[in-house]
Amino acid sequence: MSTDALSRVFAALADPTRRDMVARLSEGDATVSRLAEPYRMSLQAVYKHLRVLEDAGLVSRPPGPQPRPVRLETDALDLMDTWIERHRSRVEQRYRRLDAVLAEMEGDEDEHDQGDGHRGRPGAAGHPDDA
């Protein structure tokens, strides 16, 4: 899937009703009428939501006579997962580098504090800044 496909997936999931449909389908296939049960909207509106999810590759309905089950497609979820994990990994690497720098700075500070015996408090008697 391309970046355009990823954009369609995120756009489709921007709507809370469609996110709820995906969550419900993660528990198993369902007919359109069963999917429509908890929503206060027409069946036509449910079909419109499903069309957006289908266009994004999140759900499919096999050809054949009604009622046809709506099935969640994992490829679109895998695409999102890959994108999210790539960026999560980059952020975690940044934080690990920052943690290492901070730990190094704290280590340098501890060495300095132990050397002058005053734990780095400005204004403490005998501190070099008092001269």
pLDDT at site 50: 97
HSE of 10, CA atoms in CB hemisphere, 13 A: 12
Question: Could you say which residues of the chain have pLDDT below 50?
Answer: 120-124, 126-128, 130-131
Residue ranges of domains in the chain: 3-73
pLDDT at site 65: 85
Residue whose pair of structure tokens reads 């419900």 in the numeric block: 24
pTM, to two decimals: 0.68
pLDDT at site 124: 46
Strands 30-31 and 69-72: antiparallel
Of 1.10.287.180, 3.20.20.100, 3.40.50.300, 1.10.10.10, which CATH number belongs to 3-73?
1.10.10.10
